[in-house]
Structure 1
Amino acid sequence: MSDVLVGLMSGTSLDGITAVVVRFVEAENGAVTPELLAHVERPYAAGQRARLAAAMQGASAAEYTRLDFALGGWLADAATAAIAEAGVARGDIRAVASHGHTVWHLGSQGTWQFGQPAVIAERTGLDTIADFRVRDVAAGGEGAPLVPIADALLFSRPDAWRLLQNLGGIGNVTVLPPLSGPDADLTAVRAFDTGPGVCIVDGAVRLLRPGLAFDRDGVLALQGRAIEPVIEELLRDPWYAAPPPKSTGRERYTAAFIGDFVARCRAARAGCSDEDVVATAVWFTARSIALAVQRFVPQDVGDVLLSGGGARNPALREAIAMTLSPRLVRPFGELYFDGDAKEAVAFAFLGWLHLRRRAGNVRGATGARGPRVLGALYPA
């Protein structure tokens, strides 16, 4: 038995929209295998990125309303492009599953994603499932991370513990015990945000080198020297010591935070170069991940798989591998498909679960009172 869904993701890195078309094949024993049929990246234009960044700092009700509908159109366009690449008839697609874009996230106090799903349904002519996080929050959870259900049921190992570390704008990790089969006990699965992914690295690059969106190939970071006192000071923030479940977002790592980060680096080292600032951001991210693993992952881990935009940065990959040594650290794509598609595939899977009235949250990840069917359906 198989179903084809479209998955849409706009992450906190503000890079753009990821759209996938994926077929989920369910075996007789209930095991599910994802087959990636298409993967499209639609980078945000400078004006689009600026509007989203401004909205995440605060905007008028009129601008939020306009941007919600505009983003719905951008998401619909990305879905249409992915469907064309996949060569699948629309009549064979069960639904579109859209994460949308997080404007504000307050954990158990509330969460807000927009990218109007009614616009997606109207433009694509397909049932659209969206608003995945709010039901978990209503059940007392953090509303994040939600990817762990896909990690556990699609990408776990039967013989060893595994970590799946995502490096979007925010970093988050899924801690997977050995799991086998669709009826595996998920009570030991844990997941939580580790802190920044690439938001500080990218933010510093955009501030220091106008015109650059990010540190392509880690060129700047690899030429710099990290400033250890700045890293140590920032890691003393009580948030990093707080036990899971926990989540964070751009509301913590704001433009003001990044400006202060650059200023701290300049003050801490005479002659501090732009490259030193970017290297410090890279190593701060890597150290925050290592600290989370040290404090909250006592199990022996077989391997660590990196996904998300930050996994393309060789400087960040190298720093994470060094801080997590002797664990084997490698890109998600070495074992599965392109890691940049992973979160969009995960939300397509959440849509697949929604259609079957099956829970999409993992209590050990979000802290919700129990399993809940996630998402709201917008008929075509």
Structure 2
Amino acid sequence: MHCLGLMSGTSADGVDAVLARFDGPAQRPQWSLLRHHHQPYPPQLQQQVVAAGQGAAMPASLWLELAETITEAQANAVMACDPEGKAEVIGCHGQTVWHRPPAEGTRGSSWQMLQAPLLAHLLQRPVIHDFRAADLALGGQGAPLVPRADAALLGSTEGWRALLNLGGIANLTLIPPCSGADRHASVLGWDCGPANSLIDLGMRHFTAGAESFDKGGAMAARGRVDEVRIQRWLQEEYFQMAPPKSTGRECFGREDLNRRLDQLDGASAADTIATLTAFSAAIVAQDLEHLRQTRGIAPIELITAGGGSQNPVLINELRQRCRGAQVDESSTLGVPAEAREALVFALLAWWHQRNHPGNVPAVTGASRETVLGVLVPPA
């Protein structure tokens, strides 16, 4: 079955579309990635999405226009990726504008902006969306949703395999080994914290909006890391929480950047970006060390994907801090780094059609497994 997956993440740089084919057993499908396309958001749309994700007040009319514009961008990505219309179903994550994990006494909720009936009408194909809702209804975090799909797509190796997505937020998947005492263990995963979100906001701050990310890590490479400050930041509440946990720009956005800028006390642009870049790596390293200490799990490889995998300074920081794990990019396993999450949502759409569960209770904290997504047929 041909499925098309769409992902627009917290970096708000645009939409990734992947056309893939799936066959065979649901748990371990045979799959092939046929085409990938990245549809950048226009600068104004990116700015609106970032502002919305940080709690900016907007009149209802602008929220409505934003939803329509996001939906049209998703449709354009589909048509560019699949001009022949091969995909039988579209799996669309939508654009997260607010995420509220469950807390004591309150249920979780998450808003992935999309007008699914409009998207289905524009494409004249069924759309599966709202993938987080069922997990949230069962008491889960609603995120991350990639771990089960990662395990199905990439499989296991001789030791624990860690996959790290470096989007706006860094999230980890840990796949148990194919042999040994842990071979029947559950897949694990959680949101570590900021990957590119603070770096990107920092670049906009220091360049007056002229640069939206640190291309090639050039700014970070010129700076000096404030290791003392990083070690203090690592003691903050979120980074000390045990999984399940999830987060987003509502926690690690402009307000959080401003607080850290004040604490860096007038550091230069290069030193600040270098410190924020090293901080993103240090968060992951601390989580992996906690995992080793509490559960005796130490991955033998760390496979990176997402935009941050193209930042050599960030990757070098990961190599230095995550000792004992071989750091590689997901393309070494046949999945282009920028296409991984869109491929996951193509698989989640296929799983929905097969009535196969997509969440992992050990990851999200949901009370049970469930099929993810809501199907909307074309009008």
Question: TM-score by structure 1 length?
Answer: 0.92
1:189-228 paired onto structure 2 within 5 Å = 189-210=187-208, 211-228=210-227
Aligned-pair CA distance for 1:179: 4.3
1:1-380 paired onto structure 2 within 5 Å = 3-26=1-24, 31-56=28-53, 57-58=55-56, 59-84=58-83, 89-90=84-85, 92-108=86-102, 109-179=108-178, 188-210=186-208, 211-267=210-266, 272-297=267-292, 298-380=296-378
Helix, strand or coil for the counterpart of 2:88?
A: strand
Deviation per residue, 1:243-294 (Å, 9 max, x gap) = 1000010010121211222222235xxxx32110000000110101000111
Percent identity of paired positions between Structure 1 and Structure 2: 34
Deviant stretches of 4+, over 3 Å: 184-187
- Aligned residue for 2:105? none
Deviation per residue, 1:144-180 (Å, 9 max, x gap) = 0000111111112242210001100000001110249
Closer/same/farther in 2, CA of residues 186 and 110 from structure 1, 3 Å limit: farther
Deviation per residue, 1:176-205 (Å, 9 max, x gap) = 10249xxx9875211000111110111101
| Alpha carbons 1:152, 1:179 under 8 Å: kept | no
Distance (whole Å) between structure 1 residues aligned to residue 363 and residue 27 of structure 2: 23
Q: What letter matches 2:256 in structure 1? A: F
- Comparing 154-163 and 34-43, the one that deviates more: 154-163
Distance (whole Å) between structure 2 residues aligned to residue 245 and residue 106 of structure 1: 13
| Alpha carbons 1:76, 1:119 under 8 Å: kept | no
Q: What letter matches 1:38 in structure 2? A: R
Aligned-pair CA distance for 1:233: 1.9
Helix, strand or coil for the counterpart of 2:91?
A: strand
Helix, strand or coil for the counterpart of 2:362?
A: helix
Please report the RMSD computed on the Cα atoms of aligned residues, expressed in angstroms. Answer: 1.7
Deviation per residue, 1:49-108 (Å, 9 max, x gap) = 111112122333332222112211110111111002xxxx42x42200000011110123
Question: Structure 2: any 5+ residue segments left out of the alignment?
Answer: 103-107
Distance (whole Å) between structure 1 residues aligned to residue 361 and residue 63 of structure 2: 32
Question: TM-score by structure 2 length?
Answer: 0.93
Query: How many residue pairs get matched?
Result: 365
Helix, strand or coil for the counterpart of 2:139?
A: coil
- Comparing 289-298 and 121-130, the one that deviates more: 289-298
Question: Structure 1: any 5+ residue segments left out of the alignment?
Answer: none
Distance (whole Å) between structure 1 residues aligned to residue 167 and residue 216 of structure 2: 16
| Alpha carbons 2:27, 2:152 under 8 Å: kept | no
Distance (whole Å) between structure 1 residues aligned to residue 28 and residue 280 of structure 2: 35
Aligned-pair CA distance for 1:375: 0.4
